[in-house]
Structure 1
Amino acid sequence: MGIFMAFNCPRCQSENTQKLSMLHELGTSIIDTATVGGGVGSHGSLGVGAANTTGTSQTKLAQKYAPPKKEPVLGAFFGCAFLGLIASIFFSGVAFLIGAVLGVFAAYAGYKKNKEEYPAKLRQWQSQFLCLRCENLFVPHE
């Protein structure tokens, strides 16, 4: 009996709890559909059409308790370099160089954050449970 008590909410003692990783997975669906259609026009002409839909659908609960995200390392670099390129059109070529250098610093900061902080945040997320009665987040005790 003691092991099951560990998963009860420490605030309200409810047994209606869910691990965040499972809650996120159960609330996320991959969509991949294909449709083909045909028809005859008013003057006897034929028409055929096809469409493909892909994407992801998530419940609001799955979105709210999604896993932590990594910093966009390449996006930071290219974003700063692009802004430097735009600025160089109005000012000088030096602006692009400044943007590229800032991009390197931003990319390194993101890389460092991903390496040092992200693993701990992911481990914390993976160990948390949500009480579906009072919305308390907790880590079960053993």
Structure 2
Amino acid sequence: MNTPDVAGATGYIDTNFKGKAEKAIQELNDGCDFVYIHFEAPDECGHRRETQNKIRSIELIDELVLPVVIEGLEKFVDYKIMILPDHPTPIKTATHASDAVPYVIYHKNAEIVSGIDSIDEESAKSTNNYVNFGPDIMKKFLGA
């Protein structure tokens, strides 16, 4: 496993969101067949009860990460992507919760229309598509 350095990666809302995405695409372009990008900012903001920063950190992922990743992946004949939080960290409790988390798995050459327009806790619940044992999500992803 290679863990590349990303200048400005802090684990907080001031992290280099775009740089992490660019590094992941670079790794794929260099022949790596699997990358994992972790963004700690929403979790840390939850621990600190920073509502606006938690919202903003998720917006920054939408604004700075997804465009880079989507554009970078389009060069490939096939790819899979999974997006999810590792756990909830509600502002109210400022600690990790064991609640279910929303996730999306997309496979370029095997699209399935879910009928869901956005990914959030409520829309995820409506699918009745649960993974009860956390590590099984990777099996689902690799088999999707």
TM-score normalised to the size of structure 1? 0.26
Structure number with bigger Rg: 1
Please report the TM-score for the alignment, with normalisation by the length of structure 2.
0.25
Instruction: Specify which structure has the higher proportion of strand.
Output: 1
Greater share of helix: 1
